């Protein structure tokens, strides 16, 4: 038996005749909810209340995750991260019958992962994948606590010197890919999915099916972005097995295959550049920080980076102590100019 709180109301869940029973007690008091659960379980056992007949669910969690993986493949969302998360979830829950996983099982899993040193965000990503797998299968998921990620926000970004050093140590086919992400803050998966069909005159029209927030976006192709696009256009014809082939992707490897995962190559280049530990996603923080530092209005910067909410955008708007010092100096200069005006008027 498990009683748990959802919103302001207690729910209960248990397995009966091979099926998961999950109902709201409609009570805000835990003891009252436990009493209702006990009475309901007794009435169910005596046949005083019934449940609709249903085919016994026999699928395992692993089978649910396999179905989710297939769905991701069909929708073009099977990123390296999603593949890794599904693999991790299968490692922990694979052969367990889906309907037999209880909230207590999930709680024990969370405690074990935390004891192993896993970050809250890492645990949350796995439980999110589990929820999606259950939802896709149409099976009620066991209650899963979402751990707080406050204080777990990365603050990494690249200085211009670090970025130049990093790019110099990357393979040629990853250099413009990196420059592009640093310039506009686009996510790695979005960058690798860009095609030439999206380039229309001096605009890059990005469809919602490749963006994280599922919203279309238009980026003007200007300045450094225009230079990058022109270099990529010149490199489009690819020779393979003695013949020239055209890649439909703006960014691709030398053989025309799309750019996907390159963690090892990235880590080696970052180490050589003196910025070991920094991630490709830190380029996104770099771009947002640069836009903020340049005084770009938040709403315009959000359109560039593809952030949906102000709160999420602010997580990427990283300020250093030097930034704060400069802000204080500028404020003091402003106040001094105002004082001088007061003195001038007094004379």
**Per DSSP, what are the bridge partners of residue 10?**
5, 27
Regions of the chain where pLDDT drops below 70: 1, 18, 50-57, 150-155, 236-246, 297-335, 338-339, 342-343, 346-347
CB 320 within 8 A of CB 291: no
Question: Do residues 212 and 205 touch, judged by C-beta distance below 8 A?
Answer: no
CA distance 60 to 221: 49
Q: What is the pLDDT of residue 23?
A: 84
Alpha carbon distance 195, 259 (integer Å): 12
CA distance 291 to 301: 6
At 270 the pLDDT is 92
Q: What global pTM score does this model have?
A: 0.53
pLDDT of the residue at 337: 74
Q: What is the pLDDT of residue 44?
A: 83
* Per-residue pLDDT at 324: 45
Q: How far apart are CA 96 and CA 64, in angstroms?
A: 11
Q: What was the pLDDT predicted at 166?
A: 94
DSSP state letters, 95-156: TSBGGG--HHHHHHHHHHHHHTT--HHHHHHHHHHHHHHHHHHT-PPPP-PPPP-TT-----
- For helices 80-93 and 61-75, give the axis angle rounded to 10 degrees: 170
168-188 pLDDT tens trace: 999 998 999 999 998 888 888
Residues 6+ away with beta carbon under 8 Å from 142:
2, 13, 20, 101, 102, 103, 105, 106
Going from the C-alpha of 210 to that of each of 157, 188, 216, 271, 310, the distances in angstroms are 24, 11, 9, 31, 21
* Cβ proximity of 261 and 82 under 8 Å: no
Polymer length of the chain: 347
Q: What is the pLDDT of residue 332?
A: 60
Distance from C-alpha of 82 to C-alpha of 88, rounded to nearest angstrom: 10
Residue 303: the pLDDT is 64
Asked if residue 61 lies in contact with residue 94, where contact means CB atoms within 8 angstroms, the answer is yes
Element (H, E) at 71: helix 61-75
What pLDDT is stored for residue 51 in this prediction?
65
**Per-residue pLDDT at 319:** 46
Quote the DSSP letter at residue 259.
Answer: P
> How many Å apart are CA 157 and CA 144, to the nearest integer?
33
Q: What percent of the chain has pLDDT over 90?
A: 19
Per-residue pLDDT of 49-76, as tens digits, reads 766 555 556 889 999 999 999 888 888 7
pLDDT in tens, 242-290: 665 667 889 988 777 888 888 899 999 999 999 888 889 888 888 877 7
């Amino acid at each position: 038996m498990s009683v748990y709180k959802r919103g302001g109301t207690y729910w209960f869940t248990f397995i009966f005749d091979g099926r998961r029973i999950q109902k709201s007690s409609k009570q805000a008091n835990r003891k009252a909810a436990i009493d209702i659960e006990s009475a309901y379980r007794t009435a169910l056992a005596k046949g005083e209340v019934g449940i609709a007949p249903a085919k016994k669910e026999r699928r395992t969690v692993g089978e649910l995750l396999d179905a989710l993986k297939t769905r991701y493949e069909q929708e073009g969302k099977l990123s390296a991260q999603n593949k890794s998360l599904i693999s991790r979830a299968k490692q922990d829950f694979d052969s367990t019958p889906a309907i037999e996983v209880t909230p207590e099982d999930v709680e024990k899993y969370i405690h074990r992962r935390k004891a192993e040193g896993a970050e809250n965000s890492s645990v949350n990503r796995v439980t999110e994948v589990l929820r999606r797998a259950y939802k896709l299968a149409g099976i009620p998921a066991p209650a899963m606590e979402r751990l707080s990620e406050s204080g777990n926000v990365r603050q990494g970004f690249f200085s211009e010197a670090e970025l130049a050093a990093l790019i110099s140590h990357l393979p040629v086919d990853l250099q413009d890919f990196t420059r592009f992400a640093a310039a506009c803050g686009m996510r790695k998966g979005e960058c690798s999915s860009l095609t030439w069909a999206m380039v229309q005159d001096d605009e890059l029209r990005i469809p919602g099916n490749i963006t994280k927030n599922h919203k279309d976006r238009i980026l003007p192709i200007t300045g450094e972005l225009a230079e990058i696009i022109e270099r990529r256009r010149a490199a489009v014809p690819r020779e393979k097995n003695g013949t020239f082939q055209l890649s439909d992707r703006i960014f691709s490897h030398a053989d025309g295959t799309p750019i996907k995962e390159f963690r090892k190559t990235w880590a080696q280049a970052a180490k050589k550049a003196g910025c070991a530990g920094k991630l490709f996603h830190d380029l996104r923080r770099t771009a947002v920080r640069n836009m903020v530092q340049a005084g770009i209005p938040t709403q315009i910067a959000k359109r560039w980076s593809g952030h949906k909410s102000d709160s999420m955008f602010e997580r990427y708007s990283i300020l250093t102590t030097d930034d704060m010092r400069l802000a204080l100096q500028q404020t003091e200069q402003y106040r001094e100019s105002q004082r001088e005006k007061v003195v001038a008027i007094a004379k």
